């Protein structure tokens, strides 16, 4: 499941591509046809993320709520070579889409977007760029109040300016659950997944099985700072690389998927890692760096 940095990066990219423009919305799957029709032709005001949830707010007050779940993806589509129609015209070449035009939207040079696949739940298109949503756990048009009901159940998101770290500190101090489990609970802190859970505990030197209330204030402050730093780097790089640049043996751009981490599926310390299940997921711990 994509972690919070991925959703925030999607929000930034979609804000750049679609916000302030008339958006053409269409659905290859009938299950979301009504929702797409409701959004079609509206101007996107804002794309934002809270943890693993993505929200689009439109000018008429409608809110698109998307949670990718385990298999969902957004695919950015750009135009292919121009294809003229029988009369020599290029469909949609005028620029921003009109209602019902999201299936094929042309760039200003006449190049045409590829048709969405049959598995596309939703396509959003504007000015020759489209975003295709495939396989989400949730895709719904909701009201602002319904969006607020969702976010009210989420913990603080370290990537948001309105995050309140004291909420997380309070939850930890009142809990005997393992800190590694608490970090995965989205109502405790939003956006952290299994990779960041293992890496953050290692960086701060906390055994993920330690009870939350046994985390000291200094450890918590270090944990929050490192969480914010790591997630921001994840947004910037659009990937998870937790090691510092000076610790890497080559540039980040040359790292293969999964490289550049301390304990998640690899051993950078030289000490044999301990591997065990926690919160239903495999967790890695270095006995030397994270003493019990």
Q: Which of 9, 48, 52, 209 is catalytic?
A: 52
pLDDT of residue 18: 99
**Active-site annotation holder among 2, 79, 136, 156:** 2
Is the pLDDT at 88 greater than 60, yes or no?
A: no
pLDDT digits (tens, 9 = 90+) for 206-256: 999 999 999 999 999 999 999 999 999 999 999 998 888 888 888 888 888
Known catalytic residue at 211: no
Candidates 3, 48, 199, 226; catalytic one: 3
Q: Is the pLDDT of residue 189 over 90?
A: yes
CATH fold of the domain at 155-285: Helicase, Ruva Protein; domain 3 (1.10.8)
pLDDT for residue 262 = 86
257: annotated active-site residue? no
SS (H, E, C) 240-258: CCCCCHHHCCCCHHHCCCC
Domain boundaries, the chain: 4-150, 155-285
Catalytic residue list contains 281: yes
pLDDT of residue 208: 97
- From 38, 210, 214, 281, active-site residue: 281
- At the topology level of CATH, where does 4-150 sit? N-terminal domain of MutM-like DNA repair proteins (3.20.190)
Rounded average pLDDT over 104-112: 59
236 is catalytic: no
Name the pLDDT band for 110 (thresholds 50, 70, 90): low
The model's pLDDT over 2-33, given as tens digits with 9 standing for 90+, comes to 999 999 999 999 999 999 999 999 999 999 99
What tokens does 248 get? 């890497």
């Amino acid at each position: 499941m994509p972690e919070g940095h991925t959703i925030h990066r999607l929000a930034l990219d979609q804000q750049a591509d679609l916000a302030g423009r008339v958006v053409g919305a269409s659905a290859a799957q009938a299950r979301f046809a009504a929702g797409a029709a409701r959004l079609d032709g509206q101007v996107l005001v804002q794309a934002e993320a809270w943890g693993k949830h993505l929200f689009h707010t439109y000018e008429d007050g409608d809110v698109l709520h998307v949670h990718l779940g385990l298999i969902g993806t957004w695919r950015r589509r750009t135009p292919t070579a121009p294809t003229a129609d029988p009369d020599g015209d290029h469909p949609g070449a005028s620029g921003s889409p009109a209602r019902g035009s999201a299936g094929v939207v042309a760039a200003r040079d006449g190049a045409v977007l590829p048709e969405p696949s049959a598995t596309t739940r939703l396509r959003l298109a504007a000015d020759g760029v489209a975003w295709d949503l495939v396989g989400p756990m949730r895709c719904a048009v909701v009201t602002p109040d319904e969006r607020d009901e969702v976010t009210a159940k989420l913990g603080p998101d370290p990537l948001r300016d309105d995050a309140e770290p004291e909420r997380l500190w309070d939850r930890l101090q009142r809990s005997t659950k393992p800190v590694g489990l608490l970090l995965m609970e989205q109502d405790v802190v939003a956006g952290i997944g299994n990779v960041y859970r293992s890496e953050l505990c290692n960086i701060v030197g906390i055994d993920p099985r330690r009870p939350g209330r046994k985390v000291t204030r200094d450890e918590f402050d270090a944990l929050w700072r490192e969480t914010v730093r790591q997630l921001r780097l994840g947004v910037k790089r659009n990937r998870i690389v937790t090691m510092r640049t000076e610790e890497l043996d080559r540039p980040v751009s040359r790292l293969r998927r999964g490289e550049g981490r301390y304990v998640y599926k690899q051993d950078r310390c030289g000490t044999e890692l301990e591997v065990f299940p926690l919160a239903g997921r495999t967790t890695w711990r270095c006995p030397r760096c994270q003493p019990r």
